[in-house]
Structure 1
Amino acid sequence: MPDLASDLSFVSAPGVFAPGHLGELTQVVPFEMIDEVLTDQGGGEQRVRRLPSRVVVYLLLAGGLFEHLGWAQVWARLTASLSGSHPVPAGASLTEAMRRVGIGPVKALFDVLKGSAATTARQSAWFAGRLLVAIDGTQIAVPDSAANLVAFPKPVAGPNGPVGYPMLRLVAVVACGTRTVIEAVFGTDKVGELTYAARLTATGALHAGMLLLADRNFATYAFLAQVAATGSDLLVRAKTGGNAMKLPATRHLADGSFLTRAGQVTIRVIDAQVTATTADGVVQAGTYRLLTTLLDPHEAPALALVRLYHQRWEIETSYAELKSTMLGGRVLRARHPAAVVQETWALLAGYQALRTAMADAVLARPDVDPDRASFTIALNTARDQVIRAAGIITDTVIDLVGPIGTAVLDALLPPPRPRIRARIIKRAISKYQARNRHADRRS
């Protein structure tokens, strides 16, 4: 494969490798990184193909940035500003090339990128010397094909009728400051969040020096033990109804919290009455029970932990960025299970690359909280850079900010406000049933 390390006259790779880029994000995911994961996963090539594997991996990553487009249109954007002729490959050729690359290199690429900005950015969220991370699950719709239905069966029909699409379940650990992904697992949604969470804790995603935030679904004896075994600390909201965990007090503390045993784990329980006033003046109140393995009230006062728990919303925002901003609420493209897995890892790797570029930009502004960096602006700027084939080859002096970072820093969001969200079903945008509303997006 061409070696550009000593030749900066290129604006992209030469010849058939030219479409293999991600605009400015190529600096986060350089050629050498792609080539290395391909070689490590047995995807190295003995001959130069019309669709080299490196180009196919970049095409998959670009597909995550342009999820509203079919593969031919994604290719058109990768080649829009390149010199020479780069005709759109036939659909069958693209499918075969993606199948040839397989899942392994794309998953390995995500493994290289994951967590890359979580622990290095000065603006990462910390508490009591621990990196704040959050865990939660979400669902992503996949195409309703016969093959996908075998691997991703549709959920059981509810009171409003059958579910439109098969679903995969994704569970991830995300850094609360930079919203970068520490680790992720996914598969059929017939497997529950807690099972996937157990797989996450077994991967080494959690370790000492972390404080994990989680919602009520994760407040189980088994999960508490799994997290404790990793050395990570935990702050989780617990249920308070009839099916709540039995947690009799063994010792009362000065700040109103108390110690107890949850199975084999000693934990601290904080009961709090939380009130909030909405913009229209309505006062809402609720009782929260928080469980934590931070046992010292001097190191972690009860009131500080109650306020800190709001940071758990960072993972909800991450999922909104992934599903609403990148996917636009659409289903994935792939009509076969292996392709679904490949596309999902590519989507996560693309999200991670973009988040890394944003974290690098915020590093240049210590006064700016990463919450103020607009993911939408970063994504749209990254798309523009792909179309322009700009910033692919770095100069001898690396600029951590670049056009993506500049666009983000020039249009910072206002400081985030405390938010509440009632558990209600909002009125649909349209009262008419939407049939095949995504059917024409792949043309």
Structure 2
Amino acid sequence: MLLKDFSLITPTLEAELIIKAIETVISPSVIRQTLLETGSCEERTRKLPSGLVVCLVIAMNLWSSDAMGDVLKNLVNGLSREWTRLGQYWKVPSSSSISEARQRLGCWAMSRLFHKIVRPLATAQTPGAFLGGLRVMAVDGTVLDVPDSAANAKVFGYPGSRKGTRAAFPKVRLVLLIEAGTHLIVDALIC
């Protein structure tokens, strides 16, 4: 049996295509509704409205090697006016302002938005997605380090280690439900 020659291809998508994909999948109205439900709306007019911060958090995962300010600038330039509603002379906020905006948003809003939007996407034509008429799903888990703080240690704890020693960081245990045909994470649980 001969193996077929293959090479790994790293796809490079233009920012415009990625921003269009975000706008297509996540409508501004769903974000606004989620922010209202979680109490994450701003009480006063800010340079970084909560809806834009949601898009920034998503975009930061797509362009993880870029500076937050650059990601935000590209995001504002690429999103439609329905999303941003920012003035003509908008200036990119400092990195500390961006961090504060992310803290104001909190994780509850992003978690709620994830559960509203994410769903299996495979069709009958997707290779490996169905077996005997049933959707093939997989459960996987991973462990992530979190900053070594008393609060994180209290919530997540340290892994076991030799007697008299302690691991360097508290660990978050993450269990994922994944659609096998698309490799899409459709649910997640933090343990």
TM-score of the alignment, normalized to the shorter chain, above 0.5: yes
Q: Out of 166, 169, 181, which is 2:170 matched to?
A: 166
State the Cα deviation string for residues 101-155 of structure 1 (Å, max 9, x = none): 222221111002222414x463161112211111121112223344433323332
Residue pair 1:79, 1:86 contacting (<8 A) in 2 also: no
Q: Which has the higher helix share?
A: 2
Q: Which residue of 2 aligns with 1:49?
A: 46
Deviation of 1:76 after TM superposition, in Å, equals 4.1
Taking the TM superposition and a 5 Å limit, the aligned residue runs for 1:370-381 are none
Query: Which amino acid in structure 2 is aligned with residue 41 of structure 1?
Result: T
Over 3 Å counting, the alpha-carbon distance change for 1:36 and 1:182 in structure 2 is same
Q: Out of 127, 131, 135, which is 2:131 matched to?
A: 127
Taking the TM superposition and a 5 Å limit, the aligned residue runs for 1:8-407 are 23-26=19-22, 27-45=24-42, 47-79=44-76, 84-118=88-122, 120=123, 122-123=125-126, 125-157=129-161, 163-187=167-191
Count of aligned residue pairs for this structure pair = 164
**1: distance between equivalents of 2:150 and 2:77?**
35
Unaligned stretches of 5+ residues in structure 1: 1-21, 188-443
**2: distance between equivalents of 1:85 and 1:158?**
58
State the Cα deviation string for residues 369-425 of structure 1 (Å, max 9, x = none): xxxxxxxxxxxxxxxxxxxxxxxxxxxxxxxxxxxxxxxxxxxxxxxxxxxxxxxxx
Residue identity over aligned pairs, in percent, reads 32
2:93 partner SS: coil
Unaligned stretches of 5+ residues in structure 2: 1-17, 80-86
RMSD: 3.0
State the Cα deviation string for residues 305-348 of structure 1 (Å, max 9, x = none): xxxxxxxxxxxxxxxxxxxxxxxxxxxxxxxxxxxxxxxxxxxx
Query: Which amino acid in structure 2 is aligned with residue 33 of structure 1?
Result: V
Over 3 Å counting, the alpha-carbon distance change for 1:158 and 1:113 in structure 2 is farther
Deviation of 1:43 after TM superposition, in Å, equals 2.9
**1: distance between equivalents of 2:149 and 2:66?**
19
Higher relative contact order (CA 8 A, sep 6+): 1
Deviation of 1:73 after TM superposition, in Å, equals 4.3
**2: distance between equivalents of 1:100 and 1:126?**
41
Deviation of 1:30 after TM superposition, in Å, equals 2.5
Name the larger-Rg structure.
Answer: 1
